[in-house]
Amino acid sequence: MANLDLLAGVKVVEIAEGIAGPMCGKIFQDLGAGVVRIEPPGGDWLRRVGRDGKGGEPIYRQLNDGKQVVGLDLATSEGRDKVLELVRDADICVVGQRQRSHEKLGLAYSRLKAVAPHLVYCHVSGWGSGGPMADRAASELAVQVAAGLTRYLGTPDGPPVRQGFDLVSVDTGVAAAQAVLAAYLWRMGSGEGQHVEVSMLATAVALMQWDIAAESDPDEWRGRQLTAQDWPPDHGFQCADARCLIDLMTDGKAWAGLLRDIGCPELADDPRFSTAEGLDLHVTELPALTAARLLSWSFADLEKLVREKYEGTIVPMLSLSAAVDHPQVRHIGVIGADRRFHFPIQVS
């Protein structure tokens, strides 16, 4: 992974706790910008989440190590004056409070623009800066539920289950960085500052765009996007030495051939698995039906068969530690030698 200095010399002021705003700032930092981070007197609440038993906060450190941290009480005039001082020569400011809070604390765009007309200002919120929910508290779980992201987890007849990590918060930070970089590009040509807004709710709804489109008055309720919400959790195929994901899409001929090769000819002729229409509805039944035969197959032999003969996808279902150490993950450089995440792009 090349050392990225694309934003060298750019100054970012980050006034946001938690994940979304700091994730945006981290992306700028990984691209070479200098990030000044403002925290309240008690520190970011994320410092108290996921302690490692040694006084550290791994999630907080991942997002904020290397940033310049300044403690300020924005409820005081001295704290607000210091913010204006920091923003005066900044290029970008990321603010993460609710609409009413950031106006009360003197962090509204109109206030900061008065001292820094060139500023690219990004407001990151939970529900948006306007509308009936603008001033409500937002959490990762609340936004996931509101946007329908919980529908594919758990079991079809059970209660909704949240995504296992803060998917919406992280993606909101990425969306904020994209928006700010576009605004910054505009400023480079025009010299004018810009006001950018992103919200966790907008990000979560955008993540569901395929499902929303698929369910917008379909002619027929069939196909992956329309039937997947009723599928049980995918635990993969168990072979002799690994649990793995196998995907031949809905190619009935390929599945029939693979089923014969692994010793399940009765399934190869079953209409549930020999046609695209049947596979749409029944492919999730195959792991249980093939379990006994696959226990005689090593992952290496099964991988060769799936990839070379049927040009399908097969990957082992890895733990996080195994994923971090996977040779392909190491090769693309997203995890450094220090086992820390780095912005996943390469520039040459």
Task: Tell me the pLDDT tens digit for each residue of 12-22.
Answer: 999 999 999 99
The DSSP code for 144 is H
Mean pLDDT of 161-175: 88
What was the pLDDT predicted at 221?
58
Using a pLDDT cut of 90, give the percent of the chain over it: 55
What residue ranges of the chain are covered by domains with CATH 3.30.1540?
Answer: 237-316
Q: Is the pLDDT of residue 161 over 90?
A: no
Q: Match 């609710």 to its residue by tokens.
A: 98
Q: Is the pLDDT of residue 200 over 90?
A: yes
Q: Is the pLDDT of residue 223 over 90?
A: no
Q: Cα–Cα distance between 287 and 264 in angstroms, integer?
A: 12
* Lowest-pLDDT choice from 187-201, 249-263, 268-282: 268-282
Q: Between 252 and 240, name the one with better pLDDT.
A: 240
Q: Is the pLDDT of residue 52 over 60?
A: no
Q: How confident is the model at residue 57 (pLDDT cuts 50, 70, 90)?
A: confident
Mean pLDDT of 68-93: 95
Q: Cα–Cα distance between 125 and 330 in angstroms, integer?
A: 34
Which token pair is 293? 């035969």
Q: Between 303 and 99, name the one with better pLDDT.
A: 303
Q: Cα–Cα distance between 228 and 149 in angstroms, integer?
A: 13
**Beta strand ranges found along 81-201 (DSSP E):** 92-95, 120-125, 194-199
Q: Between 103 and 81, name the one with better pLDDT.
A: 81
Mean pLDDT of 37-66: 82
Q: Cα–Cα distance between 47 and 44 in angstroms, integer?
A: 6
Mean pLDDT of 228-254: 83
What residue ranges of the chain are covered by domains with CATH 3.40.50.10540?
Answer: 11-207
Q: 9 by DSSP, 3-state: which?
A: coil
What was the pLDDT predicted at 281?
79
Mean pLDDT of 306-324: 89
Give the fold, CATH level 3, of 237-316: formyl-coa transferase, domain 3 (3.30.1540)
Q: Is the pLDDT of residue 145 over 70?
A: yes
Mean pLDDT of 270-292: 88
What was the pLDDT predicted at 229?
62
Query: 273 with 252: CB under 8 angstroms?
Result: yes
Q: What is the mean pLDDT of the chain?
A: 87
Other CB atoms within a 10 A radius of the CB of residue 282 amount to 15
Q: Cα–Cα distance between 135 and 129 in angstroms, integer?
A: 8
| Candidate CATH numbers 3.30.450.20, 2.120.10.30, 3.40.50.10540, 2.60.40.1760; the one for domain 11-207 | 3.40.50.10540
Q: Between 160 and 275, name the one with better pLDDT.
A: 275
Q: How confident is the model at residue 120 (pLDDT cuts 50, 70, 90)?
A: very high
What was the pLDDT predicted at 310?
94
What was the pLDDT predicted at 188?
93
DSSP codes of every residue in 294-340 = HTTS-HHHHHHIIIIIH--EEEE---HHHHHT-HHHHHHTSB-TTS-
Mean pLDDT of 198-219: 83
Query: 316 with 242: CB under 8 angstroms?
Result: yes
pTM for the predicted model, two decimal places: 0.82
Mean pLDDT of 139-165: 77
The identity of residue 197, as a single letter, is: E
* Lowest-pLDDT choice from 130-144, 211-225, 229-243: 211-225
Mean pLDDT of 315-338: 82
